[in-house]
Amino acid sequence: MGGGRLHPQIQQMVDAAQDAGLPPLDQITVAEARERSRRRRLLLADGPDVAQVSALQIPTPAGPTDARYFVPLEPPAGLLVYFHGGGWVVGDINDYDPLCRMLATACGTTVLNVGYRLAPEHPFPAAADDAYAATRWAAENLPGGERLVLLGDSAGGNLVAVCTQEAKRRGGPPIAFQVLVYPVTDHDFGRSSYDEHGSGYLLGRDDMAWFWNHYVPDAAQRDDPRASPLRARDLSRLPPALFVIAEYDPLRDEGLEYARALARAGVAVDVEHYDDVIHGFFGLATYAERGDQAVARVGEAVRAALAA
C-alpha cells in the first residue's frame, strides 16, 4: 500500500499544522485538546438545509445524554445513528453538526447524533454503554428505527463495531447496515500502518496512546471486545458493513483487518479505500473535497442497503 501522494488540499492542511508547531497531545491538558478539536469546526461550512433539527435527551443507565436529531428534506427511508470520533476524549455533537446534515441529505435518512460520555471523566466502558443504550432507545422510539443504520468515524467507528456485537449478543435491536469510517478496532500498535504513518499526518502513535490511556487506563481491560472489537471470538451474523479507509492513517491496518475478519465470518463487506488522505478526512466534509466524495459514496451505499 502507499506509494502515492496526499491530495493537495490534504497536504496543505498537514503543512499548515506542522508550520503551526502545535504541541503534541501528551503535552497539553484534556481541556486544551478539546478546544483544539472545537477550532476544527471553524474550517467547516454549515452543511445543507434539512427539514428539522431537534435537541433530544436519551436515557441511559447512567442518566440522560444529549443528542441532536436531523430530518432530511425528502421523506426518510430509515434512521441513521451517528457516533462521532475524537478518541473517546474530544469532540461533541456541535462539532459534527455539518457532517450530520450532509449525512441526512446523502443517505435520505433521519440522523441521530449521539453525545456519549467522554473520558477521562467517564472511562471505559462508559462510551460503549451509552452508544448501545442510545441505539436501543432510537430503534424503539424514533420513526424509522426498524430500518436502522449505525455510522461512526474513528472512536465512533469503534462504537459502531461494539454496538453491532452487543446487539447480536443481547438479542437486538436489529441493525440493517453498519458504516465504519477508519475505525479503532484494536489496541495493538504493532501493525505496519503505525510504522508507516505513525507520525507526520496529524494523528500519530503517541496521540493514540494518549487516547487509549484516557479511555481504558487499565491495560488489562483493553482485550475486552467492547474496547477492541477485533478481539471478539465470533463475528458471524453481524450486519452488512461498509468500511471507509484512509491510506495515510495509523489505523488503516486494524480497520482492514476487521473488514477481513467480518468477511471470513460470512458478513457482507465492502471497502472504500482512499489512497490520498489522512485520518479525519471524512469529518472535514464541507471543507475537504475527498470528505464530500466519501459522504456521497456512503449515502449511495446506505440508500442501496435500505432499499434492499
Catalytic residue among 84, 197, 214, 279: 279
156-192 in b/e form (b: 16+ CB < 10 A) is: bbbbbbbbbbbbbeeeebebbbbbbbbbbbbbebebe
Catalytic residue among 129, 224, 249, 253: 249
The strands making up 148-153's β-sheet, listed across from edge to edge, are 52-58, 65-71, 110-114, 79-83, 148-153, 177-181, 241-248, 269-278
153 is catalytic: no
**Cα 149 off chain centre by:** 13
| Under 8 Å between Cβ of 265 and 189 | no
192 is catalytic: no
45, containing H or E segment = none
270, containing H or E segment = strand 269-278
234 is catalytic: no
Catalytic residue among 37, 154, 193, 228: 154
Distance between CA 137 and CA 135 in Å, rounded?
6
Q: Which residues are catalytic?
A: 154, 249, 279
